[in-house]
Amino acid sequence: MGGRRFFFIIKRKVRYEVSPHAVKSVWTLIKTKTVDGIRILTVVFAGLLISLGAFFYHATAAPDDVQEEIKRGIYQFRQENFDEALEILSAARQSYPDNPLAAYYLGLTYKRMEDYVNARKELEASLEMTPKIKGALIELIDVLYRLGQLEDAKKWIRVAETEGIRPAQAAFLKGLTLLKDEQYDEAIESFRNAKGLDETLAQPSNYHIGIAYLKQQKFDKARQAFDQIVSISPDTDIAAYANKYIEAIDRKAEGQRPFHFSARFAFEYDDNVVLKPGNTSLVSEVGEESDTREVYDFTTDYTLREQNSPWSLKSGYGLRFSKQNDLGRYDYLTNAILLQPSWGSGRLMSSLPARYTHNIVDGKNYVQSVSVSSVNNYLVTPSHMAQAGVTYQYDDYMRPPYGEESRTGNEFTGTLAWYWFFLNNQGFLNLRYSAGKDWTHGNNWENFGNRFSLGWLVPFWKRFKASANAEFYTQEYDHTHSFFFQQRRDKTYSLSSLLSYEFLKNTELQFQYTYINSQSNVSIYDYSRHVLSSAVQYKF
């Protein structure tokens, strides 16, 4: 047996060893025939005492070894060295599968590494061992909530409530679970219970109470919950989030206010009021084409809606008046009436706006229009929206036409658009395509058109935003022109940009630039135009 050691294993994995010298001595004495029986029994008994001593030594020393190994794993965990902690604690779990501390901290390590499946396995295992670690139950509920396994989370929450384990934390996690399960009233009650048991949970509880009220579209109560967060600790991160929700609620409330009114005054410079063509030899009688003007806009609308009803009805009126300063003509007055029923449910919003517009130029009736549209918006994701619509419009030009120049007729247009929202839905990027067909009484104006546009809006600061829109429009006319004896084809490029600054609540200072370049194979319809404007607008 020279130099080898014998090891004995018991159920608790405690190891003890028998000294090889003691074994050798007993074996020699047994082989010696001269030793009497009493001496043999004495030596055997001594050997057993030596073995038992070794057993008790290792039986008491082994738990210390276990604790040291687990302590090293816990130390690495607390130092956030999760890879090292995982390696040490995994080995400890294999060597000591009945140790609840090893299972608990291994579960915590998996949780911090966002491996929630393995975290659940280890935390549940720790709860089946003795002694039971109470914190494991709370951690397990949190893991189940993160996994979306809400029924299992509720089962363990009931255990925590029955056994009285960390009642404040259990109530808070119950609130989170119920909120995720869309049981909003029950969630609010749990959050109130949590902050009543532990005042340190007041802010996060109020925050989630506000979220629950938002889900229920109870905006006034949501705002009160967020206001409490800001008033208690205005400089915290959670207060910053609450402030953003307050701003969103205010915008939502403003949007849902039944009555709206806006007034705008603009001073504009237009370098081509009369759309003078680039080839001036064609219109030699046209004099100075640039001018400045004042533009006044007033709009108001009222929306009828019932709470929790998908239907609403908007009615509105708009007035625009423009006065040229030098030309003495081309002043215009526009009146518009709107009636728009809408329906919305879930991700879909549909509306049927009907509009009547009447235009007066230089004190005389010019054109009146009636249009009916179907506009359908579908929210694909929280930040992407698709839009599809059709419009029918009848234009009645009320001044007597000359020959084939009558523009009175029908127009049908189809539109597809895509919106991408960003910066908490305060900014957007918009792509749009529309195709339209005009059927006019006069052959010179019948055409088919394609319009492509790209627009965006970006809020740079809290009160400052910029927007721009670029557009390309092509028109193919159906008939040979009665005066120019060729089939007309137009291409129009336009670009506009707007900078606005809210210097007072609901009041903006605006600067806008618009450029239009129209190119046609019929030279008289060629023109370019630059318009600069500054404006003040108030919205209520």
Which residue matches tokens 């084939």?
A: 404
d(CA 301, CA 314): 7
Size of the chain, expressed as the number of residues it contains: 540
Boundary (domain end) residue, out of 230, 252, 274:
252
* The pLDDT of residue 244 is above 50: yes
Is the residue at 95 inside a domain?
yes
Strands (DSSP E) found in 346-401: 348-351, 354-361, 364-381, 384-397
Number of domains in the chain: 3
503 domain residue, yes or no: yes
| Residues 6 or more apart whose Cβ sits within 8 Å of residue 183 | none
CB neighbours of 481 closer than 8 A, spacing ≥ 6?
444, 487, 488, 522
Across residues 420-431, what is the average pLDDT?
89
**Residue 474's Cα: distance from chain center in Å?**
37
Instruction: Assign 46 a pLDDT band (cuts: 50, 70, 90).
Output: very low
Which of 224, 252, 280 is the C-terminal boundary of a domain? 252
CA angle 422, 423, 429 (to 5 degrees): 35
Residue 374 has pLDDT above 90, yes or no: yes
> Partners of 385 in the beta sheet?
379, 419
What pLDDT is stored for residue 278 in this prediction?
53
pLDDT of amino acid 255: 65
| Longest Cα separation, the chain | 149
| Same domain flag for 170 and 308 | no
Q: Which of residues 50 and 407 earns the better pLDDT score?
A: 407
Q: What is the overall mean pLDDT for the chain?
A: 84
Close Cβ partners of 103 (under 8 Å, ≥ 6 residues apart) = 93, 122, 123, 125, 126, 129
Q: What is the mean pLDDT of residues 85-111?
A: 91
Distance CA 371, CA 434 (A): 16
Q: Which two tokens stand for residue 519?
A: 């190119």
Residue 132 is predicted with a pLDDT of: 83
pLDDT at 146 over 90: yes
Per-residue model confidence (pLDDT) at position 392: 98
Q: Are residues 503 and 420 in the same domain?
A: yes
Q: How far is the C-alpha of 29 from the C-alpha of 216, rounded, in Å?
A: 90
Does residue 405 carry a pLDDT above 90? no
Comparing 36-40, 107-111, 432-436, 442-446, which segment has the lowest mean pLDDT?
36-40
pLDDT at 286: 37
CATH code for the domain of 509 = 2.40.160.40
The residue behind tokens 């849902």 is 256
Residue 53's CB is within 10 A of a number of other CB atoms, namely: 12
Domain with 50, as residue range(s), is 6-65
Q: What is the mean pLDDT of residues 71-99?
A: 91
Q: How far apart are CA 230 and CA 96, in angstroms?
A: 49
Cα 280 from Cα 524, distance rounded (Å):
9
How confident is the model over 48-52, as a mean pLDDT?
Answer: 44
Look at residue 136 and tell me if it is in a domain.
Answer: yes
Cβ 18 vs Cβ 54: under 8 Å: yes
**How many angstroms separate the Cα of 270 from the Cα of each of 324, 499, 524?**
10, 18, 19
The yes-or-no verdict on residue 279 having pLDDT over 50 is no
Question: What's residue 327's pLDDT?
Answer: 86
Residue 332's pLDDT band (boundaries 50, 70, 90)? very high
Does residue 186 sit in the same domain as residue 286?
Answer: no
Instruction: Give the pLDDT confidence score for residue 64 in this predicted structure.
Output: 54
Q: Are 311 and 282 in contact (CB under 8 A)?
A: no
**Tell me, what's the pLDDT at 298?**
97
* pTM to 2 decimal places: 0.61
Q: Which residue has the tokens 């038992």?
A: 52
- Give the pLDDT confidence score for residue 202 in this predicted structure: 87
Question: Is residue 405 included in any domain, yes or no?
Answer: yes
Residue 141, domain member (yes or no) = yes
Q: What mean pLDDT is predicted for residues 130-159?
A: 91
Query: What is the domain-level CATH number for residue 188?
Result: 1.25.40.10
Residue with tokens 């579908």: 378
pLDDT of amino acid 420: 96
2: buried, middle or exposed (CB in 10 Å: 19+, 13-18, 0-12)? exposed
Classify 112 as helix, strand or coil.
helix
- The answer to whether residues 118 and 129 belong to one domain is yes
* 453 & 506 share domain: yes
Is 261 in the same domain as 398? yes
97 and 42 co-located in one domain: no
Q: Are residues 294 and 235 in the same domain?
A: no
Q: Does the pLDDT of residue 98 top 80, yes or no?
A: yes
pLDDT at residue 416 tops 80: yes
The verdict on 112 and 49 lying in the same domain is no
pLDDT of residue 34 exceeding 80, the answer is no
Kindly state whether residues 308 and 188 are assigned to the same domain.
Answer: no
Alpha-helical regions (H) of 358-511: none
Residues 194 and 326 in one domain: no
pLDDT at 138: 92
pLDDT for res 500: 95
Give the whole-angstrom CA distance, residue 16 versus residue 38: 28
Q: Please classify residue 288 by burial: count the beta carbons closer than 10 Å to its beta carbon, then call 0-12 exposed, 13-18 middle and 19+ buried.
A: exposed
Tell me whether residue 1 is in a domain: no
**pLDDT given at position 341:** 96
Claim to verify: residue 206 and residue 330 sit in the same structural domain:
no
Q: Which two tokens stand for residue 413?
A: 């247009």
Last residue of a domain, one of 198, 231, 252: 252
SS3 of the chain: helix, strand, coil, percent, to 5: 40, 40, 20
Average pLDDT over residues 40-64: 43
Return d(Cα 214, Cα 307) in angstroms, integer: 14
